[in-house]
Chains A and B, each alone.
Chain A
Amino acid sequence: MAGNGKDKQETGEGNKELFLSAFKTTIPVLLGYIPLGMAFGFLLDGAGYHWIYAFLMSLFVYAGSGQFLAVALLAAGAGLTEFAIATLLLNLRHAFYGLSLLEKFSGVGKVKPYLIFALTDETYALLTTTDVPRGSSKSGFYFYIAALDHFYWISGSVLGAVLGSVLELNLEGMGFVLTALFVVLTIEQYFNSEARFPFIAAVGAGTFSLIFFNPDNMLLASIILGTLILLAREKSMQKTQPTQRAWRALQTEPETRAINASVQPAEDKTRRKD
């Protein structure tokens, strides 16, 4: 009996369940990636490229905004260096995603390179917020989520490129599903963690970048700015903590007052040195 859970994991039955649970998690991304991928496909088709290129780009590049940028650069006849630099700058934000996944991705085994490759904004958001179903393998669950999202993106872009302007579906506003997904996942993060400062940092850094940076650069700018704010806050907390502790002790514990009083000047001296 006790081994049942483990057995289930090995069999196709448990795998199917895990797949379904990953599928449920990714439904909002499905509904977001299809119209967004189609928009990319339309654009590339409109620029005069065969649909196979939409397929290849979505398969091997797999970066929403990066692929839109590529269409613009293709139209402008950019050189390879420009493609490389523009793509690096635009996607540099993904480096910050990896920073917070170092631990989560350790021990996922041979799917790790693929998980790193497939780390889009949306997949990052899902992986950092969704819990692995009880008794299931982390690597399997993460892999299904990443691969499903990837599959939606490829399907959308090929669909858009093949159908071109044939289809007259009014999908205006459907891309909002991704905004709504981010809102929901932000609130889940709020429930999952006691830290409140990251939200304050985000509002500050985000508003600032929205005003002072152009739309193409604002996400990277805001992530760098926000990270600096988090680091600065951590630094200042570490500095003030010893004196705060002494102050609290001074207020609550009359017996330790004498000790603290003698300790405090010494601490002040070290602080002044900083």
Chain B
Amino acid sequence: MLDSLHMLITIAVIALATFATRALPFLFFGSREPPAMLSIIEKNLPPMILLLLVIYCLKDVQWFSAPYGIPELFTISVVAGLHFWKRNAMLSIFTGTGLYMLLVQLNVLSFL
């Protein structure tokens, strides 16, 4: 009983901490105008953050041992190429994911 209470309190703490990080800018700039500098970079943040999220997805890749991140880089370039060409989000995403699953599950690059 004490254990489950402790777990519930822990979950509440994590939930509050997470919500705090998400609500921070809205609380801070809820009643006052954001500084001019901020509104200038505001529209530049999403493209930057999205590309950073792509790079973040590569954080666990082992670059110095086989297969040297080749499945990831190869699939990302296929997704990007396909999307520049056809601009069909579903096509790009599912072709890429299917290809990646084949590459890692069938160990296609095991010769490296």
Chain A residues proximal to chain B, CB less than 8 Å? 27-28, 31, 49, 53, 56-57, 60-63, 66-67, 70, 74, 80, 83-84, 87-88, 91-100, 102-103, 105, 112, 116-117, 119, 121, 124-125, 128-129, 170, 172-174, 176-191, 193, 195, 197-199, 201-203, 205-207, 209-210, 215, 218-219, 222-223, 226-227, 230-231, 234
Contact = CB atoms under 8 A, between A and B. Distances in A.
Interface string B38-51: 10111111111111
Size category, B interface: 35 or more
List the 5 shortest-distance A-B pairs measured between CB atoms, nearest first: A206-B55, A98-B25, A202-B51, A173-B101, A87-B17
A189 B46 contact: yes
Given A53-B7, A103-B42, A215-B60, A181 B25 contact: no
B54 to A, nearest CB: 5
Contact of A179 (B12, B20, B43, B76): B76
B83 A187 contact: yes
B11 A116 contact: no
A173 B100 contact: yes
B93 to A, nearest CB: 4
A206 B51 contact: yes
Contacts of A170: 105
Interface class of chain A by DSSP: helix
B85 to A, nearest CB: 11
A173 B20 contact: no
Nearest to B12: A60
B74 to A, nearest CB: 12
A218 B59 CA distance: 8
Nearest to A195: B44
Given A95-B24, A99-B45, A176-B101, 14 more contacts: A27-B90, A56-B11, A80-B13, A100-B42, A173-B97, A180-B94, A183-B54, A184-B83, A184-B92, A198-B47, A198-B48, A202-B51, A219-B52, A222-B52
B103 to A, nearest CB: 7
Given A60-B15, A70-B14, A100-B43, A199 B57 contact: no
Contact of B56 (A66, A105, A222): A222
Interface string B62-105: 00000000001001100110011001011011101100110111
A216 to B, nearest CB: 9
Nearest to B96: A180
Contacts of B75: 176, 179-180
Given A61-B18, A92-B21, A174 B97 contact: yes
Contacts of B45: 96, 99-100, 198, 227, 230
A51 B34 CA distance: 43
29 contacts: A61-B18, A66-B14, A67-B14, A84-B17, A87-B18, A100-B42, A100-B45, A103-B42, A116-B23, A172-B104, A176-B72, A180-B96, A180-B100, A182-B50, A183-B54, A183-B80, A183-B96, A184-B83, A184-B93, A186-B50, A187-B80, A189-B50, A198-B51, A210-B55, A210-B59, A219-B53, A222-B56, A227-B45, A230-B41
Contact of B53 (A87, A119, A125): A125
A99 B48 contact: no
B41 A186 contact: no
